[in-house]
Amino acid sequence: MSTPALHETISDSFDIAWVRHQFPSLQLQISGHSAAFLDGPAGTQVPRQVMDAVQKYFLEANANTYGAFLTSRRTNQIIADARAAMADFFHCAADEVVFGQNMTTITLALSRAIGRELHPGDEILLTTLDHDANFSPWAALAEKGVVIRKVDIRESDCTLDLDDLKSKLNAKTKLVAVGYASNIVGTINPVAEITRLAHAAGAMIFIDAVHYAPHGPIDVKALDCDFLVCSPYKFFGPHMGTLYGKKHLLEKFKPYKVRPATDTVPECWETGTQVQELIAGIRADVEYLAELGRRCDPSAQDRRSALLAAYRSTVAYERALVTKLIAGLLAIPGLRFFGITDPQRFHERCSTVSFRLAKGTPLDAATSLGDRGIFTWDGNFYALNLTERLGVEPQGGVLRVGLVHYNTSSEVDRLLAALREFAAG
């Protein structure tokens, strides 16, 4: 177990005051309490830079694309700049970045397009750990005779059972759809290894990085994944989704689209008029993270290096917070914890934790915490396969606490004190 002194050292090197200053909504007060936003896994707060970019779009650039006049040209440029920003975020080319309403909508569109090319008897490998948005869109292809297989978890620590995965991969597997990190238990899956296994079997891989994106750097080039999705509203940006796809695959598969819309990649995947003001916000979101990175490491020059520097700092900061949180939770009598608890293995998890208390339902606990200005989530968070597998679905699921880099050690203290009181009451 890490010592309190270690927590202090790590926390001291991170300019949390500057970070929190960037997020105006963190100032919210509820009945004399400061709000503690521990609800990040369902959507994070947004820095001022993102709000300003959205407002600036409406003031200076509000038009549809490809018109022969100023605001339309500005809109084209804003979309191009946001694509370049997300290309740095993913580590890919700008024409491999697709914008969409959210991850679920993007995945439904992609699964339908890929499904056009599949045949009865082809197989798709899914997991018990995933959010349903990385399950049902693929499972629906069973209608075409595609065989759906599901990788189990190891219940003791809520990690993916890789032996089970290997046993279910075969020459008929066309696609493996796997999460980068679990939005309930925080497990980080070995996606590089899973990508290698999928490719060795001749299958494509689709990675749901929605939950991972606020917690760690994404490098699609190093992973060599075929597709990867994440949603900016989970990493300090606006309510949208984004897709990375290898260019030759974005060209190979044909999206359902209307006739006048372009056939050019990546725009052909972006159905109808985009939420351009929010796309402006996505660029500002990436710039915020890069600015954080340059503050953490002034030697980081280009935007990609700055993003990596930001994540080096936030990973260490969040690790210290979650170490303290889990130690505190495990000391609460009767608490049932789901996921990795061994600090030596915390590189295999992010700072999202789920548990049940001996007393009351997760909703009771979330309501009690909410009344004290501590925002947490109860339920299954659409990771239905997992709550069913763990047997907690009929009892209201779990209570989930998510820490991101704007949360503080004192918020963890407040949460633990409130939980101890609730558990004892």
Ligand X SMILES: Cc1ncc(COP(=O)(O)O)c(C=O)c1O
Spatial separation of the C-alpha atoms in residues 408 and 139, rounded to whole Å: 40
Q: Is residue 102 near ligand X by the rule CB under 6 A?
A: yes
Peptide bond between residue 394 and the one before it cis (omega within 30 degrees of 0): no
* Distance separating alpha carbons of residues 109 and 102, to the nearest angstrom: 11
Alpha carbon distance 124, 117 (integer Å): 13
Determine contact, residues 176/168, Cβ cutoff 8 Å.
Answer: no
CB 283 within 8 A of CB 78: yes
What single string gives the DSSP state of each residue in 311-322?
HHHHHHHHHHHH
Determine what percent of the chain falls in helix, strand and coil, rounding each to the nearest 5: 50, 15, 35
Nearer to ligand X, 134 or 276 (CB): 134
Positions 207 through 246 that interact with ligand X (CB under 6 A): 208, 210-211, 231, 241
Q: Does 179 bind ligand X (CB under 6 A)?
A: yes
The window from 76-84, 99-107, 306-314, 399-407 that contacts ligand X (CB under 6 A) reads 99-107
CB 88 within 8 A of CB 307: yes
400 is an interface residue for ligand X by CB under 6 A: no
β-partners of residue 173 are 123
Residues 182 to 211: which contact ligand X by CB under 6 A? 183, 208, 210-211
**110 three-class SS:** helix
- φ, ψ at 61 (rounded to 5°): -140, 10
The size of the interface with ligand X (CB under 6 A), counted in residues, is 13
Q: Compare residues 20 and 112 and give the one whose CB is closer to ligand X.
A: 112
Interface pick for ligand X out of 104, 187, 276, 376 (rule CB under 6 A): 104
- Scanning 129-137, 215-223, 343-351, 369-377 for contacts with ligand X by CB under 6 A, the matching segment is 129-137
For ligand X, the binding residue among 7, 83, 131, 283 (CB under 6 A) is 131
C-beta closer to ligand X: residue 49 or 183 = 183
C-beta of 237 vs 241, nearer to ligand X: 241
**Interface pick for ligand X out of 103, 286, 310, 419 (rule CB under 6 A):** 103
123 vs 208, beta carbon nearer ligand X: 208
Q: Site residues (CB under 6 A) for ligand X?
A: 102-104, 131, 133-134, 179, 183, 208, 210-211, 231, 241
